[in-house]
Amino acid sequence: MKRVLLVICLALSILLAASATTYQEGVRAAQKENKPLYLYFYSDSCGYCKMMDKEVLGDKEIGNLLKRDFIYVRINADKTEDIAKLYGVRGFPSNWFLESTGARIVEAPGYIQKPLFKRVLQYVSGGHYRTMDVNAYLKKH
């Protein structure tokens, strides 16, 4: 049991270390570091958000990809409704990928299983969105 708790704590620390503190800080960091911005909108009462946190975002491999290739911002829509409204978020979780300039790359609503989420990360970090849409990329890869 202690080992399980240790693994969960480690995964959450990777997850939190990979994320910027606030939306404004994330936007500035994306511009400064010229990295895509990943906005993860969630709600405290959302069961699928908790699953995504644990099974996908809490995964070590995903956490490392996010930390290396993205500026990752977690947005609790219960506390920052204005930002969720700005992006037109109506359901949770909601995953938004933006260029460092703030231009929209892709929005992926809902819970996304790890294998598919990893491919979306590769689509964005590899710059494939410049030459094909996400659905074409996912069919090829």
Residue 19 pLDDT level (bands cut at 50, 70, 90): low
Kindly report the backbone phi and psi dihedral angles of residue 127, in degrees, each rounded to the nearest multiple of 5, phi listed first: 70, 15
Q: How far apart are CA 66 and CA 100, in angstroms?
A: 14
* pLDDT tens-place string over residues 41-97: 999 999 999 999 999 999 999 999 999 999 999 999 999 999 999 999 999 999 999
Q: What would the DSSP string read from start to end of 31-55? A: HHHT--EEEEEE-TT-HHHHHIIII
Tell me the residue range of the domain where 10 lies.
Answer: 2-140
Res 6: pLDDT: 36
Counted domains in the chain: 1
Distances (CA, A) of 141 to 107, 119, 128, 137: 19, 8, 11, 6
Indicate the helix (H) or strand (E) that contains 112. Answer: none
Average pLDDT over every residue of 103-122: 97
Q: Where are the beta strands (DSSP E) in the chain?
A: 19-20, 37-42, 71-76, 94-98, 104-109
Q: How far apart are CA 4 and CA 39, in angstroms?
A: 28
Residue 21 pLDDT level (bands cut at 50, 70, 90): confident
Q: How far apart are CA 77 and CA 92, in angstroms?
A: 9
The CATH number of the domain where 117 resides is what?
Answer: 3.40.30.10
